[in-house]
Chain A
Amino acid sequence: MSSREYSKKAAVAPGEMPIAVKDDERDDVLLRRSAKGDEEAFALLYRRHQAPLYRFALRMSGHPWAAEEIVQDVFMTLIREPKKFDPERGTLGAFLYGVARNRVMKHLERTPRDLSLDEQSERGNGIPSRVIERFTPAEYAESRERSQQVRAAVLELPVEFRETVALCELEEMSYEEAARLLDCPVGTIRSRLHRGRALLLAKLEMLRDAPRRANASR
């Protein structure tokens, strides 16, 4: 999904005042205006990019509070050092992803690996109602359990596999987009996805077998 699509989505998000998103206002133009003190230009940039960054941080860290902190840090960097972004080297979206990745890595280094199974954003973004409606209560409970297992398995993946899975599987980016954001060849993305998938299957196997093994040992 491109940043432009994000901007349109952000502009009509429920509960938000609709903002005049001008498609011809490129990110670098907005950033220049923002660097001169134009608050609305900055707000426009923020709304255009915050959602995918937040989701990425959330899926990588597993904690809404950590994702919130990471997104805030990313845009603080943009406020304090706007000249760090060089349009010659890539898009603003890719730059922000890069900053977000660094913040995620720092977060993962300094926090112990604990898994948050309560991944609800503060806008009531749990399982969408259209998904819930498809299930009976028993199916929903089973689906919820599976979902939690998958989330736990994703969060246990090594970082490079986790970010590839987060971008390609959860955010549904193409391999090319993910390669651009992670600054690596498409082949690397494919290879990481392949290995990540194998690891995920193995971890899920372990997670699903754990209760059975516990019952058998009694």
Chain B
Amino acid sequence: MPADKQFSGDAGMTCEEFALAALDLDSAADSPVLQAAREHMRHCSHCEALQQQWQALRADLRLLGQETREAQAPDRVEMRLRQEFRTKYKTMKTRRAAVAATWALAAAAVLLILVSWVRWHNDQTRIAVVHPTTTNAPQDTAPQSTGPATPDELGEVLVASNSGDFTLLPGSVPSALEDTTVVHVQMQRAALGALGLTVNEEHAGDWIQVDLLVGDDGLPQAVRLPQTSN
């Protein structure tokens, strides 16, 4: 409690009040409390002796304080701390680099998978072999159902979106619709003669696009001439 508050004032200072006020007696301040404390000390030999002891002790404490006034932690402490600092932040940097590398690798892997899938998907779309819609056959079974005439041998095999205007070749017997495949081929018009069709000799040497309906025996059963080829 501050001496100002403890000091009751009028009746002079008690020894207890003096003991608290004496903490500040050395200071240059000259408040009424300190004046009263000095006044009390003049009349109380016990408090005067106490104050002298305290002043002696304070001088000793000051000397003790001076002994260690310039004391500082040895340089090795700073060295150790710097080392610890570097270790911590180096570890953090390494960890961050490792995390970044892991993410980069993962991203690269995902990208690779994505590119592979897109390429595979494009290939699948480009070389798709399906049954024509008129046969109602499932499209994904088409490549396996071409029988001896493989797509490589017959040329590019395309999905027949509209195969309803096929013309049966002379002498061929329609087989079950699910066993047929539409094959898109380029051929000379003269070759149609070999299939039993009449050919205009003036245009016999022309190259035309023809859709052949091939049975599971590999023989063409019907033919469709796209309009531009007529």
Chain A residues packing against B (C-beta within 8 Å): 10, 13, 34, 37, 39, 42-43, 46-47, 50-51, 53-55, 58-59, 67-68, 71-72, 75-76, 79-80, 119, 121-123, 125-128, 131, 143, 146-147, 150-151, 154, 165, 169-172, 186-187, 190-191, 193-194, 197-198, 200-201, 204
B219: shortest Cβ distance to chain A, in Å?
79
Could you name 10 residue pairs across A and B whose Cβ atoms are closer than 8 Å? A43-B78, A54-B72, A119-B68, A125-B72, A127-B66, A146-B60, A150-B57, A165-B61, A169-B61, A194-B19
Stretch at the interface among B80-88, B134-142, B157-165, B175-183: B80-88
| New A-B pairs, 4, CB < 8 Å, besides A71-B77, A198-B19 | A75-B81, A121-B70, A123-B71, A123-B72
A77: shortest Cβ distance to chain B, in Å?
11
Instruction: Decide if A170 touches B89 in the complex (CB within 8 Å).
Output: no
Instruction: Decide if B2 touches A68 in the complex (CB within 8 Å).
Output: no
Alpha-carbon distance between A186 and B24 when the two chains are bound, in angstroms? 14
Question: Whose C-beta in chain B lies nearest to the C-beta of A193?
Answer: B23
A53 cross-chain contacts in B, Cβ below 8 A: 73
Q: Which of A34, A121, A147, A172 contacts B71 (CB 8 A)?
A: A121
Instruction: Decide if A126 touches B67 in the complex (CB within 8 Å).
Output: yes
Q: Which of A42, A169, A194 contacts B20 (CB 8 A)?
A: A194
A39 cross-chain contacts in B, Cβ below 8 A: 82, 85-86, 89
A151 cross-chain contacts in B, Cβ below 8 A: 64
B88 cross-chain contacts in A, Cβ below 8 A: 79-80
Instruction: Decide if B67 touches A125 in the complex (CB within 8 Å).
Output: yes
Tell me whether A121 and B72 are in contact in the complex, defined as CB-CB below 8 angstroms, given that A131-B63, A190-B2 are known contacts: yes
Q: Which of B1-19 contact A (CB under 8 A)?
A: 1-3, 19
Instruction: Decide if A54 touches B73 in the complex (CB within 8 Å).
Output: yes
Instruction: Decide if A171 touches B65 in the complex (CB within 8 Å).
Output: yes
Say yes or no for B69: interface residue by CB 8 A criterion.
yes
B93 cross-chain contacts in A, Cβ below 8 A: 37
Q: Which of B137-169 contact A (CB under 8 A)?
A: none
B19 cross-chain contacts in A, Cβ below 8 A: 194, 198
A62: shortest Cβ distance to chain B, in Å?
11
Q: Which of B47-64 contact A (CB under 8 A)?
A: 50, 53-54, 57-58, 60-64
Alpha-carbon distance between A125 and B69 when the two chains are bound, in angstroms? 8
B6: shortest Cβ distance to chain A, in Å?
10
A201 cross-chain contacts in B, Cβ below 8 A: 50, 53-54, 57
B82 cross-chain contacts in A, Cβ below 8 A: 39, 42-43
Instruction: Decide if A68 touches B71 in the complex (CB within 8 Å).
Output: no
The 5 closest A-B pairs by CB, nearest first: A170-B65, A37-B89, A121-B71, A54-B73, A150-B60
B34: shortest Cβ distance to chain A, in Å?
14
A54: shortest Cβ distance to chain B, in Å?
4
Say yes or no for B170: interface residue by CB 8 A criterion.
no
Q: Which of A59, A67, A193, A204 contacts B73 (CB 8 A)?
A: A67
Alpha-carbon distance between A127 and B3 when the two chains are bound, in angstroms? 35
A201: shortest Cβ distance to chain B, in Å?
6
A147 cross-chain contacts in B, Cβ below 8 A: 60, 63-64, 67
Alpha-carbon distance between A46 and B82 when the two chains are bound, in angstroms? 10
Instruction: Decide if B23 touches A194 in the complex (CB within 8 Å).
Output: yes
A34: shortest Cβ distance to chain B, in Å?
8
Instruction: Decide if A190 touches B71 in the complex (CB within 8 Å).
Output: no
Tell me whether A143 and B77 are in contact in the complex, defined as CB-CB below 8 angstroms, given that A121-B68, A121-B72, A190-B1 are known contacts: no
Alpha-carbon distance between A204 and B58 when the two chains are bound, in angstroms? 12
Alpha-carbon distance between A190 and B2 when the two chains are bound, in angstroms? 7
Alpha-carbon distance between A121 and B77 when the two chains are bound, in angstroms? 13
Say yes or no for B92: interface residue by CB 8 A criterion.
yes
Alpha-carbon distance between A172 and B26 when the two chains are bound, in angstroms? 13
